[in-house]
A and B are shown apart, each in its own frame.
Chain A
């Protein structure tokens, strides 16, 4: 080993070389003077999610999100909160009214992006998110979350162009599929999403299937959520039809106008479709449709988001399967395998498959 202190001197030579080298060698000088200099983040880099819309002029109408709540369910820390938009008559629109992401809870895991069947939610790479507060400031609402497809293409060119190509191919495929049966279902696929009024008034109580007293101190959103929640509970326990249907039929889908242009929004019968609520579980929905005709049961097996991922609304898809016009039972994206399997089972039970 030589003499005592040799190791020390060798070490000092290394430090000296690093010190001098840091003035000349970029490999040894790696510090970036942050606020003045910025490193280009890699394309894959991710921070927090945002929602994609296609057209700058009509943000709400071209939003890709259909409020199917898949991401809300799958989010590991449960930081997403979605309320589906409904028109004055309580008919679900295929877009969120409330879409909140609590970025103080979000752990940037990207699982919402992976599970989204509509390519609606994507990861941003903006890392400068500091705020002067810890609470409301860190909750991102729908307007903060909406960002254009152009922006998405700018931050993640490779990924975004692949997504665009995929969406285009899907659209063409749908259009082709719809063409032969166009007479029966006029341009169900061609019409994108119904363009809704810019600021739909929050429906007051129409969706309230369980009467919450009018003077109860709830905001319309809370009221809506509560009624959904309560109906979920009561459906399991109480004799169903009694509690849910009467009040529902009073205001809600009974006089639902054929609102959407093109896509035939099937009118609800006088009794309403008590199972037509995405908040209910599969079994609860099926229980509600127990003694109804096959088409109703089929409809109850669907995810009830009316998301048009299959090319129909939930009613239309059920009717199409029932009449034999549609043979593919795997089209319900939000319902996924659960719905597909249940549809198969119901058809088998009815001897149709």
Chain B
């Protein structure tokens, strides 16, 4: 593997890979306005020929002061802002925040609401994984086809979200102690319908991609993340699992009612881009299993704990950390309440895509520059969450 160059050496002549021509390293800035960076994100690559010898991720272009805003606002006021962290998965963001507040305030969520949350979170996982595969293929150069198939299916889930919560993407659906409005029987029927049709779409999607020689050639043995580095780098979610780390907060914490469902945690063995793709496909199949069980077992009952006040909601002093297995990894909210308790004294987000992004350089070193965008795509980042 080629070692990254130090600052002084960057522009000195180095022997080219063939040994016949002497080449200079070249510094290329990919982004911030580049479609393959999935938002305003910049990568400072140092290239030797086509090979990456150093890469520096530059973040912060989409910083919106999320945490400080939340510290100036009532507890409920931050809920719509969490939608805007990872705007693909507003439902799970809502849940993570609500879970942290519930832990801190000691609120018990009714069973019915827990099931509704599980249904929403697993649907979110479906749409996120479908789309991220579509985007990854887009980065590979499969212009349009897989992405638009993914978006077609995603739209069906978003229609359900709109019917239930009122908004397609910025759902603002969860409340402390439950969910804002209940799912009607009609909504549940739509969810069932989506769940029953999704495996067929996944089969088709896999037929298009899984054994495709171009995909295999471009993704296998590319961007390998070793298991040790995944653990040391605190990587979570599908990315850690693709590297062989068997860790899923749904299994480790069994938050909500996840203890009641029967599902497996798919784990990869190489940790390359292909594993990251395939772990996501398998995870979607497990999500469908969870959805089927949740839709079968959902009990009757209130959709929100009746004792929770909407206004003048106060939390006694203390701190709490609530975490869930978001589609991108472990999403956690660390909250501190102090005297008065009307607003958080400290509000901290543990964003999975930000922490997963920190290993980008390790995965890219020695790879070709064309593979950098695939490796980045396989991490699955949303800049709203990376920069906050």
**Do B211 and A14 touch (CB < 8 A)?**
no
The smallest C-beta distance from A244 to any residue of chain B, in angstroms, reads 27
Q: Report how far A18 CA is from B167 CA in the complex, Å.
A: 29
**Do B212 and A107 touch (CB < 8 A)?**
no
Q: Could you say which residues of chain A place their CB within 8 Å of the CB of B44? A: none
Q: Does B9 contact A (CB under 8 A)?
A: no
Q: Does B149 contact A (CB under 8 A)?
A: yes
Question: Assuming A14-B208, A45-B166, A123-B166, is B213 touching A115 (CB within 8 A)?
Answer: no
Mark contacts of B69-82 with chain A using CB atoms, 8 A cut-off: 1 yes-contact digit, 0 otherwise. Answer: 00001101111110
**Do A109 and B170 touch (CB < 8 A)?**
yes
Partner of A7, one of B84, B159, B213, B309: B213
User: Which residues 1-40 of A sit at the B interface, judged by CB distance below 8 A?
Assistant: 1, 4-8, 10-11, 13-15, 18, 28, 30
Q: Could you say which residues of chain B place their CB within 8 Å of the CB of A8? A: 212-214
Which A-B residue pairs are the 7 nearest by beta carbons? A109-B80, A7-B211, A42-B163, A76-B77, A46-B166, A7-B212, A44-B166
Mark contacts of B129-149 with chain A using CB atoms, 8 A cut-off: 1 yes-contact digit, 0 otherwise. Answer: 000000000000000010001
Mark contacts of B301-320 with chain A using CB atoms, 8 A cut-off: 1 yes-contact digit, 0 otherwise. Answer: 00000000111100000000
The smallest C-beta distance from B162 to any residue of chain A, in angstroms, reads 5
Known: A14-B207, A42-B159, A111-B77. 13 other contacts (CB 8 A): A7-B210, A7-B215, A7-B216, A30-B152, A42-B163, A42-B166, A44-B164, A45-B167, A46-B167, A111-B172, A115-B311, A336-B312, A337-B309
Q: Report how far A28 CA is from B170 CA in the complex, Å.
A: 26
Partner of B211, one of A1, A13, A44: A1
Partner of A11, one of B79, B162, B208, B311: B208
The smallest C-beta distance from A78 to any residue of chain B, in angstroms, reads 10
* Residue among A5, A13, A30, A338 facing the most chain B CB atoms (10 A cut-off): A30
Q: Does A139 contact B (CB under 8 A)?
A: no
Q: Could you say which residues of chain B place their CB within 8 Å of the CB of A114? A: 180, 310
Q: Does A56 contact B (CB under 8 A)?
A: no
The smallest C-beta distance from A70 to any residue of chain B, in angstroms, reads 7
**Do A11 and B167 touch (CB < 8 A)?**
no
Specify the main secondary structure of chain B where it touches its partner: helix
Q: Could you say which residues of chain A place their CB within 8 Å of the CB of B73? A: 76
The smallest C-beta distance from A25 to any residue of chain B, in angstroms, reads 12
Q: Could you say which residues of chain A place their CB within 8 Å of the CB of B312? A: 336-338
**Do A6 and B211 touch (CB < 8 A)?**
yes
Mark contacts of A317-351 with chain B using CB atoms, 8 A cut-off: 1 yes-contact digit, 0 otherwise. Answer: 00000000000000000001110000000000000
Q: Report how far A74 CA is from B215 CA in the complex, Å.
A: 50
Question: Assuming A70-B311, A74-B311, A111-B80, is B213 touching A5 (CB within 8 A)?
Answer: yes
Q: Report how far A122 CA is from B129 CA in the complex, Å.
A: 35
**Do B170 and A108 touch (CB < 8 A)?**
yes
Q: Does A247 contact B (CB under 8 A)?
A: no
User: Which residues 289-311 of B sit at the A interface, judged by CB distance below 8 A?
Assistant: 309-311
The smallest C-beta distance from A20 to any residue of chain B, in angstroms, reads 14
The smallest C-beta distance from A88 to any residue of chain B, in angstroms, reads 34
**Do A76 and B162 touch (CB < 8 A)?**
no
Q: Report how far A192 CA is from B151 CA in the complex, Å.
A: 52
Q: Report how far A18 CA is from B84 CA in the complex, Å.
A: 34
Question: Assuming A18-B149, A123-B166, A336-B311, is B172 touching A109 (CB within 8 A)?
Answer: yes
Q: How large is the interface on A (under 10, 10 to 19, 20 to 34, 35 or more residues)?
A: 20 to 34
Q: Could you say which residues of chain A place their CB within 8 Å of the CB of B172? A: 109-111
The smallest C-beta distance from A48 to any residue of chain B, in angstroms, reads 12
Mark contacts of A102-117 with chain B using CB atoms, 8 A cut-off: 1 yes-contact digit, 0 otherwise. Answer: 0000011111001100
Q: Could you say which residues of chain A place their CB within 8 Å of the CB of B2? A: none
**Do B214 and A111 touch (CB < 8 A)?**
no
**Interface positions of B (Cβ within 8 A of A):** 73-74, 76-81, 84, 145, 149, 152, 155, 159, 162-167, 170, 172, 180-181, 204, 207-216, 309-312
Q: Could you say which residues of chain A place their CB within 8 Å of the CB of B167? A: 45-46, 108
Q: Report how far A174 CA is from B159 CA in the complex, Å.
A: 41
Sample 24 A-B pairs with CB under 8 A, ordered by A number. A4-B213, A6-B211, A7-B212, A8-B212, A8-B214, A10-B211, A13-B207, A14-B207, A15-B145, A15-B208, A42-B166, A44-B162, A74-B74, A76-B73, A76-B78, A76-B81, A107-B80, A107-B170, A108-B167, A111-B76, A111-B77, A111-B172, A336-B311, A338-B312
Q: Report how far A336 CA is from B162 CA in the complex, Å.
A: 32
User: Which residues 277-313 of A sit at the B interface, judged by CB distance below 8 A?
Assistant: none
Q: Report how far A30 CA is from B73 CA in the complex, Å.
A: 41
Partner of A76, one of B80, B209, B215: B80
Question: Assuming A5-B213, A76-B77, is B208 touching A110 (CB within 8 A)?
Answer: no
> Of all chain B residues, which has the CB nearest A18?
B149
Q: Report how far A114 CA is from B163 CA in the complex, Å.
A: 18
The smallest C-beta distance from B30 to any residue of chain A, in angstroms, reads 29
Q: Could you say which residues of chain A place their CB within 8 Å of the CB of B159? A: 42
**Do B209 and A11 touch (CB < 8 A)?**
yes
**Do A30 and B155 touch (CB < 8 A)?**
yes
The smallest C-beta distance from A234 to any residue of chain B, in angstroms, reads 25
Mark contacts of A90-130 with chain B using CB atoms, 8 A cut-off: 1 yes-contact digit, 0 otherwise. Answer: 00000000000000000111110011000000010000000
* Residue among A4, A44, A110 facing the most chain B CB atoms (10 A cut-off): A44
Q: Report how far A201 CA is from B43 CA in the complex, Å.
A: 61
Q: Report how far A337 CA is from B311 CA in the complex, Å.
A: 9
**Do B310 and A44 touch (CB < 8 A)?**
no
Q: Could you say which residues of chain B place their CB within 8 Å of the CB of A11? A: 207-209, 212
**Do A45 and B162 touch (CB < 8 A)?**
yes
The smallest C-beta distance from B52 to any residue of chain A, in angstroms, reads 28
Q: Could you say which residues of chain A place their CB within 8 Å of the CB of B216? A: 7
The smallest C-beta distance from B129 to any residue of chain A, in angstroms, reads 19
Q: Could you say which residues of chain A place their CB within 8 Å of the CB of B210? A: 7
Q: Could you say which residues of chain B place their CB within 8 Å of the CB of A43? A: 163
Question: Assuming A44-B166, A109-B80, A109-B172, is B310 touching A115 (CB within 8 A)?
Answer: yes
Q: Report how far A15 CA is from B146 CA in the complex, Å.
A: 9
Q: Could you say which residues of chain B place their CB within 8 Å of the CB of A30? A: 152, 155
The smallest C-beta distance from A342 to any residue of chain B, in angstroms, reads 13
Q: Report how far A14 CA is from B208 CA in the complex, Å.
A: 6
Q: Report how far A111 CA is from B215 CA in the complex, Å.
A: 46
Q: Could you say which residues of chain A place their CB within 8 Å of the CB of B162? A: 41-42, 44-45
The smallest C-beta distance from A295 to any residue of chain B, in angstroms, reads 25
Partner of A74, one of B77, B81, B84, B166: B77
> Of all chain B residues, which has the CB nearest A30?
B152
Q: Report how far A44 CA is from B162 CA in the complex, Å.
A: 7
